[in-house]
Amino acid sequence: MTMLFIRITIVFMLSCGIPALTPVMAGSKPEKKTNKPSYQFFSQSTTSDNWTSDFVDTETTIYFSGYSGNSKDRREAEAKALQDAKSRISSYILETIQGNYSEAFRYKTEKGHITQDTEIITAFSQSYTQNILQGIKPINSYPVRNPDGSMDVQIIVPVAVADISRKHAEIDRQIAALSRYYSLEIQSKDASIMSTLLKYERIISMLDPIECALVEFLGLDEPVNLYKYLVLQTGKLYEKVEFEPDTQKYFILGKWVANVEYNSAIYTYDIKFFTDGRCTVKVRNNNIEQETTGNWSLEKLFDSSKFKLDAIFNDVTIPYQQSIQWRSIVAYGKDGKTFNILGKVASDSPQIRFTFFRHLF
C-alpha cells in the first residue's frame, strides 16, 4: 500500500510539469503544517464483496470512490455517492496543496460515506474546484441491498491527472495574488487605531475558510498565515481602543466569554461580534455544546447603551436554551476589558447577570 502511494505521488508530480504540490508562496517552508482537525467523519457503511478497489491509478488518471450511505432507493443512493465522490476529490486536492499527503491518500482509500460535509470543504468545492467537479461522471456503480430495504452504493469516478495539475497551478496563482493584495492593504497607513481595527475586521470577514488556511501575510521577514496574523493584531488593537461613548459599539467587537450558573451547573457563553451586526454564539456545559449564528446591535441612548442579541439554535442539545433574545442596558467594566448585561439562560428563567471577558479570536 505504501509503495503504491509513493508510485502514484511520483507519477502525479512528474506528469504535472508544474510545482503543483509545492508551497503556495515562493520562499515559504517546503511543507506547510497545520493544526487543522479532521473535519470529515466516515460512517460505518456496509462492507460488501460487490465493492471494488480494482481501479488502479495510472499516469493519466486518478480514480475516486464515492459511497452513498443508507438510502431509500438506487437513484437517491447514486446521487449521494456522486456528492460523496466530489467531496473526496475536493478534500484530496486541498490536502495535497497543504502538503498533507497521507490525509489525501486516506480520502481515496478509506471506505464509508463522508457523513459530515464541512464549511471548509464546501467553500473549497464551490470556489476553487467547481470546474473539475462539474465535469466528473461515474463509470461504474456497485449496489448493496441492506436487510431493512435500504440501499448502499459505491461509484467509481475518474479524474484526469492533467486536470488536477492545472487546478493546482490555478489555485497557487489565486492564493498568491490574494497574499500580495491583502499584504499591501494591511501595510497601508491608517488615520487611527480604530480605522486600522475596522480594516482588519473587514479583511477577516472577507476570507473564506480555505483562504483562512492558505493566504499569507508577506510584510514580515518570513511569510505567516494571514488570518492568524490579523487575529493576533486585532486582539492587540482592541486593548488600545480609547473608551469613548462613540466607540462603545466597536469596543464590543471581537470574542467575549461569560460563565453563568444555572440549575447547579456552570454554562459558558462564547460569542464573537462582527462589524456587520452578525455574531456567532456557542453555549457549552461539560461535553454538551451547541452553536449558531445570530444578530446583535447596540443602540445609543441619552446616557447609556441598549444591547440586543437574537439567535436561534437549529441543532439543539441544551433543551431549555433553544433561542436567545437578550435586551439589556450595558454596564462597562472600569478595567476596559469587561461588560455586563442582563439575560435569560432559559426561556422561563429569570434574568441573571452576564459578565463578559474579552478573549482573542
Gap between the Cα atoms of 111 and 92, Å rounded: 15
pLDDT (tens, 9 = 90+) of the chain, 361 residues, equals 444 343 444 334 334 443 333 333 333 333 333 334 333 445 544 555 566 666 888 999 999 988 888 888 888 888 889 989 998 998 899 888 888 888 888 888 888 887 665 667 777 887 888 888 888 888 888 888 888 888 888 889 999 999 999 998 999 999 999 999 999 999 998 888 778 887 888 888 788 878 888 899 999 999 999 999 998 888 777 766 655 545 566 678 778 999 998 888 889 999 988 877 889 999 998 778 899 999 999 888 777 789 999 999 988 888 888 899 999 998 888 776 788 999 998 878 888 999 998 876 5
Among 268, 249, 269, 258, which residue's Cα sits nearest to residue 201?
249
pTM of the model: 0.59
User: With left for phi above 0 and alpha for psi between -120 and 50, is residue 317 left, alpha or beta?
Assistant: alpha
Do β-strands 140-145 and 151-160 pair in parallel, antiparallel, or remain unpaired?
A: antiparallel
Among 239, 242, 216, which residue's Cα sits nearest to residue 229?
216
Q: Which domains does the chain have, with CATH numbers?
A: 2-168 (no CATH), 170-238 (no CATH), 247-359 (2.40.128)
Q: Give the DSSP letter of residue 353.
A: E
Gap between the Cα atoms of 249 and 63, Å rounded: 53
- Residue 139 corresponds to which cell in the numbers above? 463509470
